[in-house]
Amino acid sequence: MPTLDTLGRPVRDLRISVTDRCNFRCRYCMPREVFDQEWVYLRHTELLTFEEITRITRLAVELGVEKVRLTGGEPLLRKDVHLLIGMLSGVDGMTDLAMTTNASVLARRAEALRDAGLQRITVSLDSIDDEVFRAMNDVDFPVERVLEGIDVAASLGLGPVKVNAVVQRGVNDHTIEDLAGHFRGTGHTVRYIEYMDVGMSNGWKLDDVVSAAEIVERINDRWPLEAVPPSYPGEVATRFRYLDGEGEIGVIGSVTQPFCGNCTRLRLSAEGQLYTCLFAGTGTDLKGPIRTGASDDDLRGILEGVWTKRSDRYSERRSEHTPGWERVEMSYIGG
């Protein structure tokens, strides 16, 4: 039996942030005026080691976790991350090992990741329009190299790839249909994500959110869609298929259609803090106990305590929160 929280939600997924650094400056995540030369990143000694991450993962799997995803910051910036994948793929009882990446260096790293045991990959690509994408990543990174990463990963068996696109009104919403059109018929699935108020630095406003309903309506006007039932309980993306058989899209309506009732995710930051909600202000430290000799039983007790006391449902109660509510940054906790 998986461990349940106070609202009866089982722990099923573990998201592991392996670094708080990134080579992109997506304005909705790490705006350059905040994440500038002065920003203090974690030092290498502050990061959990691969052994520590693997140990925590093994204990989380004992509590019920089945799926593990590496994220960040940009996970491919963590040196030798394929070695971590190799270690994690040896953990018994896990059914899925995946990564979310901006794909900037995926083309040259995909083979090592696949050989180490990575099963699936999600690539973030907010627009297929080169000018729009370069402005959004704010480091002038071209679409073409992301597409190359997707192609190489797929050719090595890491596909079909899920392509995540955050939609911001007035920024990339005019390119929603072109992105869908590009991936229709390729087997890859675009998942449009409502722009969220994570962290304290992106200046989020409700007016900037394009609703999942509007996204679906616009794509449906071009290529008629029908709803597809979820492929597993708790799937966060709502799925639709093209009536002409050219594949699927997904929408993640975190703001307008919150899914806290199905939220089965535990999150581990790069420095070993456990979080149970993307919008949390504080976490629970695991690194301190590990580095002062905690036994597996001690750590199991901490993990279990964090999950069984959990009651968060931020997105369902967004309007009740005060504007100044302290939230951890997305690049720190991982998406």
- CA 135 to each of CA 127, 141, 201, 299: distance values in angstroms, whole numbers, following the listed order: 10, 8, 18, 43
DSSP H helix total and E strand total for the chain:
10, 12
Is 117 strand, coil or helix? coil
Q: How far is the CB of 299 from ligand SF4 (least distance, A)?
A: 23
**How many Å apart are CA 162 and CA 72, to the nearest integer?**
17
In angstroms, what CA-CA distances link 151 with 3, 156, 161, 189, 298? 39, 9, 9, 13, 44
CA atoms within 13 A on the CB side of 46: 12
Residue 193 interaction partner, one of ligand SAM, ligand SF4, none, beta carbon < 5-8 Å per kind: ligand SAM
- Contacting ligand SAM (CB under 6 A), which of 101, 127, 264, 269? 101
For the beta carbon of residue 181, count every other beta carbon within 10 angstroms.
Answer: 16
When binding is defined by CB under 6 A, the residue of 20, 66, 74, 208 that contacts ligand SAM is 74
Could you give the C-alpha distances from 291 to 17, 52, 272, in angstroms and in order?
Answer: 19, 9, 11
168 binding ligand SAM? (CB under 6 A): no
Question: Which string of x and - marks every residue 80-119 that binds ligand SF4 (by CB under 6 A)?
Answer: ----------------------x-----------------
- CB-wise, 56 or 76, nearer to ligand SF4? 76
CB of 322 to ligand SAM, least distance (A): 19
Pick 171 or 303: Cβ nearer ligand SAM = 171
Q: Is 72 exposed, middle or buried (0-12, 13-18, 19+ CB in 10 A)?
A: buried
Using DSSP bridges, classify how beta strands 248-252 and 189-194 pair: parallel, antiparallel or unpaired.
parallel
* 17 touching ligand SF4, by CB under 6 A: no
The item of ligand SAM, ligand SF4, none sharing an interface with residue 198, based on CB under 5 to 8 Å by kind, is ligand SAM
Q: Which of 155, 159, 130 is nearest to 145 (CA)?
A: 130
Residue of the chain from 85, 91, 166, 215 that contacts ligand SAM (CB under 6 A): 166
State residue 99 phi and psi, 5-degree precision.
-140, 145
Least separation in angstroms between CB 315 and ligand SF4: 4
| Binding region for ligand SAM (CB under 6 A) out of 82-90, 130-138, 192-200, 313-321 | 192-200
Q: Which is nearer to ligand SAM, 219 or 236 (CB)?
A: 236
Select the residue interacting with ligand SF4 from 312, 327, 328, 332 (CB under 6 A): 312
Site residues, ligand SF4 (CB under 6 A): 22, 24-26, 29-30, 72-74, 102, 124, 258-260, 263, 277-279, 312-315, 331
